Amino acid sequence: MTLAVNIGNSNAVFGLYANDWQHIWRTPSQPIQAEGFYESTLRFWLLEAGISLDTIQKTAMSSVVPALTPTLRNVLTGLFGDGLVVVGPEVYPALPLTILRPDQIGADLVANALAAFTRYHQSCIVVDFGTALTFTSVTAEGLMAGVAIAPGLRTAIRALFANTAQLPEVPIELPESALGQNTAHAIQAGVLIGYEGLVRHLLAKTRAELGPGTIAIATGGLANAIPALHNEFVAVDESLTLEGIRLVGQLATGN
């Protein structure tokens, strides 16, 4: 079994893989938490699933939260040994990707690109609906051609809540109409329906640059928040980033 860990800005996601994703767990990314919190949480998940520590042979981790990286590194090496692979510039030479600025690109974006390229072997755009809304483009030759970043859906709503005196934080639910009849619906219309246009337009511009035959894949915790966008994607796969992290671990160790 392989344990893949994706430390994002909002959540740390743990996935257990054996021929397929057997279990996926998530907990908020909280750098202030001690190692004991994450260790006990992971032990509880494994115990609840009936999985012993010694059945996990490989571990791989990606992090975009530097303050949390050493905490989870220590937890994983303490539980499973020193074979942990951390997605970063040190392991990129083992990947079938050309990464132009390896010190600047997020490890999660590399994982997304690797998973998509490995699965489809054609030019593609991975749209990750997370804390940030990211568009990662990969050519058919494996070149990471570029990235576009916008605030994520929840981030946009929270920005309105945090920076205005009278606008509330509202749930991420797609309204039936663009004509908001109350404050909550007005925010939902502006953000969710507005983001449908943002995603479609940016995909169209990116496809025009990458060329005919460019496909798009959606991932991230909010990948299903705007169902009208699904016709833009060949797949909506919330575990795509974990799959990329798992592949990095496999390629970096040669097995």
DSSP state string for 70-97: HHHHHHHHHHH-S--EE-STTTGGGSS-
Look at residues 8, 17, 120 and name the one whose alpha carbon lies nearest to residue 60. 17
In the structure encoding, which two tokens stand for residue 19, read together?
């021929």
Count the Cβ atoms, other than its own, within 10 Å of residue 170: 19
Distance CA(31)–CA(68), nearest Å, equals 5
Give the pLDDT of residue 35: 87
| CA 199 to centroid of chain Cα atoms | 17
- In degrees, to the nearest 5, what angle opens at C-alpha 9 toward C-alphas 35 and 234? 125
The structure tokens 């946009």 sit at: 156
State the amino acid at position 41 in one-letter form: T
> What pairs with residue 86 in β-bridges?
61
Q: What is the pLDDT of residue 165?
A: 60
Q: Which two tokens stand for residue 181?
A: 């009849």
Place of tokens 């590194």: 73
User: Catalytic one among 20, 103, 108, 128?
Assistant: 108
Phi, psi of 210 (to 5 degrees): -80, -25
Rounded Cα distance between 186 and 142, Å, is 42
The CA distance from 243 to 226, in Å, is 23
Q: Is the pLDDT of residue 23 over 90?
A: yes
21 HSE (CA, 13 A, CB side)? 19
User: What confidence category does residue 167 fall into, taking pLDDT thresholds of 50, 70 and 90?
Assistant: low
State residue 166's pLDDT score. Answer: 66
Residues 199 and 247: their CA atoms lie apart, in Å, by 27
Confidence of residue 63 (pLDDT cuts 50, 70, 90): very high
pTM for the full predicted model: 0.92
| Residue 183's pLDDT band (cuts 50, 70, 90) | confident
Query: 173 versus 90: which is more confidently predicted?
Result: 90
- Measured distance CA(250)–CA(238) in Å, rounded: 20
Whether the predicted pLDDT of 32 surpasses 90? no
Average the pLDDT over 171-187 and give the result.
85
Report percent pLDDT > 70 for the chain: 98
Is 108 one of the annotated active-site residues of the chain?
Answer: yes
226-244 confidence digits (pLDDT tens): 999 999 999 999 999 999 9
How far apart CA 108 and CA 128 sit, in angstroms, is 10
